[in-house]
Structure 1
Amino acid sequence: MQEFAPPLTFSALVTTLRAAGCVFAEDEAELLLSTAAGPAALTAMLERRVAGLPLEHVLGWAEFCGLRISVGPGVFVPRRRTEFLVRQAVALTPAPSVVVDLCCGSGALGTALASSLDGVELHAADVEPAAVRCARRNVGGLGTVYEGDLFAPLPRSLRGRVDVLLANVPYVPTGDVELLPAEARDHEPRVALDGGGDGLDVMRRVVAEATDWLAPGGSLLVETSERQAARAEETVGSSGLLARVVVSEELYATVVIGTSPR
């Protein structure tokens, strides 16, 4: 373990972080200083960051849609680009509404949406036990989090009642997972990254059942990559949903929206 000579000043933090390859060393130093409970905690956090842990896992939280979302080891870190999906969902969500957050990870999407609107009945699910524990902390009294594969753990009473279905499914093609940054590849669960041969396997499973769960006029929202967008739109449309693609060049985000006919 690398040793750091006290005191760990802002300048010393920046120098160490930059030497470890952290591109935004100044920003990270400020976050470490503001989060650490004391000098010993700061040293431990710096050691973990230099060892390659994602900054969010070191801090214990990630900023998402203006919220501090709790994250931890083995939990997928919500990406800033996914805020675009949440914004699209907010615009589509009626009041009151039933919202389901599938592949919820930390529960960031559902938490952000339910925090933005009144009258949201939120249900979230993930197959990873660590993610479920984390999501339950974030969702709190805003809704209910279930452990299980996709729709399987959801109450049957939700069938045909879901107004907005958020599905931030894994969409990295299996062959590309090893090309991801080490922070994701080594510290986030593979099940949250690997989308199968072309990256759309999990999305296809969601789409295959989505129409049974959506209310008339309800919408499914899934994030994908620019190169997968046309195939993803075709897949969503083939299920009978009215499909369209929306893009944010600023966040480099691509979202496919499928809306159930009324």
Structure 2
Amino acid sequence: MTFVRDSKFSSTDDAQRFGDLPETVRETDHYQQEYIEQFADRWDRLIDWQARAKAEGDFFVRLLREHGAKRVLDVATGTGFHSIRLLQEGFDVVSADGSPNMLARAFKNARDQGLLLRTAQADWRFLNRDIHGQYDAVICLGNSFTHLFRERDRRKSLAEYYAVLKHNGLLILDHRNYDRLLEGGSAVGNGKATVYCGSDVEVGPEHVDDGLARFRYSFSDGSTYHLNMFPLRYDYVRRLMGEVGFQTINSYGDYEHSHNNPDFYVHVAQKAYRFDDEPPQI
């Protein structure tokens, strides 16, 4: 599926190093070139912190508390929305990201609110090389897992999350409803965004196929940026989690148990070992 786009690339396309054939850029390591400083500086306008907080309510805080989690590793901190929210709620948080530009913005956002983030730049595939200790929960939010283009990268990253968790730890991971996109639907199904809530930016897919979802982010100041991501299917993610070792997996659609064609899926995977002979609950 291909969507209409400008015939000429903007200067930001060049800065993000997509080249003349951007739809051929399908590499896990390219995300660092995509999150250039100018894009990171505008990211919070895409989120709209107040609107996102209202949309998700206490969903993640409640989940973590229900499972007794206190020490949390945020592996996709971005500009710090969830790390800061969890710090404010009394959780012990370590904030990691692969993009130094995003970490710098997150640190500033926290400082502006009188908080100090403990940050680490880390590649998920080698997480335990850069992150030490064990955690009650790992969160990977904001559609971040879709930056991994190779299956071995996804398996390796999930295994690294698994290893850093305590024996009864929890992984919370989300992604867009790519099933709908791959089947010809829209990026936002119900007309009300629940993750990217900003009002002065237009977001939409320019190209979608089984191996790539290329999104365009057009801001009101005239700047335009792109992200190339792997379109994760719902059943695939759940199966992969089970094969890595998570034995109980519950999934939500837009923060609810019902899966009525949501915009985002949230998967909650438990590491706790099952002693019975029943198959994993996925």
**What TM-score does the superposition give when structure 2 sets the normalisation length?**
0.50
Paired position in structure 1 for 2:249: 243
Distance verdict in 2 for CA 1:153–1:221, change over 3 Å:
same
**Which segment drifts farther, 144-153 or 100-109?**
144-153
Q: Distance in 1 between matches of 2:175 and 2:268?
A: 11
Asked if the contact 1:123/1:145 (under 8 Å) is kept, the reply is yes
Give the 3 Å change call, closer, same or farther, for CA 96–207 of structure 1 in structure 2: closer
Alignment match, 1:220:
171
Check the 8 A contact 1:122/1:144 in 2, yes or no: yes
Q: Determine the C-alpha separation between the residues in 1 that align with 2:131 and 2:64.
A: 20
Given candidates 195, 214, 223, the residue that maps to 2:148 is: 195
Structure-2 residue corresponding to 1:255:
266
**Corresponding position of 1:93:** 64
Which deviations, in whole Å up to 9, do the C-alpha atoms of 1:104-127 show, x marking residues without a partner? Answer: 211222212222x22x11101112
Q: Which runs of 5+ in 2 are unaligned?
A: 1-37, 180-232, 255-259, 274-282
Q: Which of 1 and 2 has greater Rg?
A: 1
Is 1:104 aligned to 2:115, yes or no? Answer: no
Matched, 1:57 2:62: no
Could you tell me how far 1:81 is from its partner in structure 2? 9.9
Does structure 1 conserve the Cα–Cα contact (< 8 Å) formed by 2:128 and 2:164?
no
CA distance in 1, matches of 2:77, 2:63: 19
Identity %: 15
Report deviation, 1:201.
6.1
| Residue correspondence of structure 1 range 1-262 to structure 2 within 5 A | 57=42, 62-64=47-49, 66=50, 80=52, 84=56, 87-94=58-65, 97-115=70-88, 117-118=89-90, 120-140=91-111, 141-150=115-124, 151-152=127-128, 154-156=130-132, 158-159=133-134, 162-168=135-141, 170-172=144-146, 194-196=147-149, 203-226=154-177, 227=179, 228-241=233-246, 242-248=248-254, 252-261=263-272
CA contact (8 A) 1:89 1:164 kept: no
TM, length-normalised to structure 1: 0.53
Higher RCO, Cα 8 Å, sep 6+: 2
> 1:245 touches 1:255 (CA, 8 Å); kept in 2?
yes
Q: What SS does the corresponding residue of 1:105 show, helix, strand or coil?
A: coil
SS in 1 for 2:149: coil
> Which sections of structure 1, spanning at least 5 residues, go unmatched?
1-52, 68-79, 173-193
Structure 1 letter corresponding to 2:121: E
